[in-house]
Amino acid sequence: MFKFLSTLTSKQQKLVVLTVPTLTLLLSGGTVLPAWERYDQAKRKLERQRAEMAELIRNLPKPDASRTYFVRNDAKESTMFVREITAIARGAECDLASLSAPGSQDVRDAGKSGGDSPWYISPVTVQVSLIGTYPNVRRFLSGVVNSRRVYSITGLDLRARWNAESGSLDNRVSAQVRLDRYVAMRARPSGKVTPSTGNETLPGMK
């Protein structure tokens, strides 16, 4: 090629000397700069993805497994609830008289879980009637508070009982405990939640 270049006239050589570096610069700039931008963009995206991954690993969800905060609202839920309350009452040496839902009060709040999740937390109010000594009732309440499943005690009505045989106050009291249990339920497409009936009565209760 240099042999060919030496055959050019001085004007052609001048043209080549001026145009070849210019074209070279333009060509190299036109190829290298877009490649650099593409590389830089890809690198930034990769860094963002790495940071997102690190954030994901750093903020791993750690749900509390020591307690049962809510139970999915299915057919077994009410049975499990009655069984646990019965066990607590039995442990507190209280007689469980009745267990009923107060009707319209059963759903006070429907807390959405957040994000796009269709799951909601709904408190289901239950009224438990039981008979026992004052310390036993207190033990029952402590048992409810410290049970594995989470409940909220939202009301209490404690009354002394009259013993007609002895003509004096009985050492046992009747207590009506109002408590909430929490169930998780799915929202309907309309956005309304499906509350549990919460009306469970154990056969043979006093």
Partner 1 sequence: MLQNPRPQTSVTLAITPDALFAVQTRNDGGRLAIVKSGSEAVPPGCFTDGSVTDPQHLGRTIRTLWHRLGFKERAASVVLPSGLCALRAVRLPALSAPERRPVVRGELEHVGALPFRGGAFDFFWVEEATSGEVALAEAFALYTHDEVVTGIRSVLRYADLRLATLEPMSVGVLRACALAAPAEGAMAVLCLDDQAADFCILEAGQVRYLRRIPSGWADLQAPGAGAPDAPADATTAVPHVVPFLVTETLRSVAYYSRVRGSSPEPAQLVVPAVPADFNRLASIFHEAAVPPISAINPQSAFGVELLDPAQPPSTLPAQLLAAIGTGAAAVGLQTGIPTLDLAQDDPVTHVSNPWSAALPATVGASLVWLLLAFAGWSALTANADRAENDRQLLTGRTVEMRAKQAPLLLQEQLQERTRTLQATSNLPVAALLGQVASATDKEISVQNLSVGIDGSVTISGEALTADAVQRFSYALAMGVTLREPRIDTLKQDLPDRATFRIVGKIVPGTTLVKNTAGGS
Contact set for partner 1, span 165-194 (CB under 8 A): 169, 177-178, 180, 182, 184
Q: Which of residues 87-126 bind partner 1 (CB under 8 A)?
A: 108-109, 111-115, 117, 119, 121, 123
What is the CB neighbour count within 10 angstroms for residue 175?
22
3-state secondary structure of 60: coil
Distance CA 112, CA 119 (A): 6
Distance CA 71, CA 121 (A): 9
CA 44 from centre of chain: 33
Distance CA 123, CA 111 (A): 9
CB of 204 to partner 1, least distance (A): 27
Residue 25 vs 202, nearer CB to partner 1: 25
**Residue choice 74, 76, 98, 156 for contact with partner 1 (CB under 8 A):** 156
Stretch that binds partner 1, among 78-86, 93-101, 132-140, 189-197 (CB under 8 A): 132-140
Assess 53 for contact with partner 1 (CB under 8 A).
yes
Assess 201 for contact with partner 1 (CB under 8 A).
no
Long-range contacts of 34-42 (CB under 8 A, 24+ apart): none
Residue 13 vs 98, nearer CB to partner 1: 13
Q: Which of residues 14-43 bind partner 1 (CB under 8 A)?
A: 14, 16-17, 20-21, 23-25, 27-28, 31-32, 35-36, 38-39, 41-43
Assess 134 for contact with partner 1 (CB under 8 A).
yes
Q: Is 31 exposed, middle or buried (0-12, 13-18, 19+ CB in 10 A)?
A: exposed
